[in-house]
Each structure stands twice: as C-alpha cells, then as structure tokens.
Amino acid sequence: MLKRCLHLLLTSSLLLLPGVAGAAGMAVHVPELQWVLLVPPGSTEVRVMDLSRRAITPLATLRSKGRGPVVAVHLQREARQVWVLGERGLDVHDAYGGRVLAHWDAPDGVRLERLDVSG
C-alpha cells in the first residue's frame, strides 16, 4: 500500500530526465528501471530508490562536498551512472553504491544553472 501511494505521488510529480531541482526539490521517475531519483529541497544529496520490489529499496545516497546544492540530475541508463550538477561542480556517481566516479569544479565566477544532455 505504501509503495503504491509513493509511486502515485512520485509519478504525479513526474519530471523528465534530466531533472531540474529547485526550491521545491525534485523527483525523477525512471520507468524502465522502476527507479526514482529524489532530491529534497535545497539538498546536496540525491537518493536513488528502487521501486521494483515489494518494498521500496534505497540503492544509494549520492553525496559530494565540493558540488554544492543540486541543480540538475541525469541518469545514464546503460552505465547506471548518475550525473549530478551542483552550484559549484559536476559529479558522476555509480548509481548502486553512490561512489563518485568523476568530479569537475565550476570555473571561478561561473554559476551553473542547467544540465543539457544530447543524444
């Protein structure tokens, strides 16, 4: 029952990939994997949740000190990698364990506002 309610709540606030975070936070539903990427309002973390089992299963919490508050998120489905754009940098995480695979700092004086994904 809880899983159905959460699933309904998340799909009703569906954002397409890449997701854009704001003051309200965001939830990105990935139907092919039955995953949801959650970003609480103003958070520096992304929570990866699996909805495919009987219970909602947390897969990882994606954290990075240098990135700052989350601006946008994109899931690279084939590689199971999550790209997270923060106000101060861009990170690539392993979606299962949360490990940071790569990090790029934003240039000085530049404010990162969106993540454009082509192809």
- Domain assignment present for residue 111? The answer is no
pLDDT in tens, 66-88: 888 999 999 999 999 999 999 99
Domains: count for the chain? 1
Q: Of the candidates 12, 97, 45, 68, which has an alpha carbon nearest to the alpha carbon of residue 4?
A: 12
Question: What is residue 66's predicted lDDT score, i.e. its pLDDT?
Answer: 84
Question: What is residue 8's predicted lDDT score, i.e. its pLDDT?
Answer: 34
Question: What is residue 111's predicted lDDT score, i.e. its pLDDT?
Answer: 82
Res 98 pLDDT > 90: yes
- Domain assignment present for residue 60? The answer is yes
- Domain assignment present for residue 119? The answer is no
CA distance 82 to 62: 9
pLDDT in tens, 21-79: 555 689 999 999 999 999 999 899 999 999 998 889 999 999 988 888 999 999 999 99
- Domain assignment present for residue 115? The answer is no
- Domain assignment present for residue 116? The answer is no
CA distance 96 to 104: 21
Domain range for 35 is 2-105
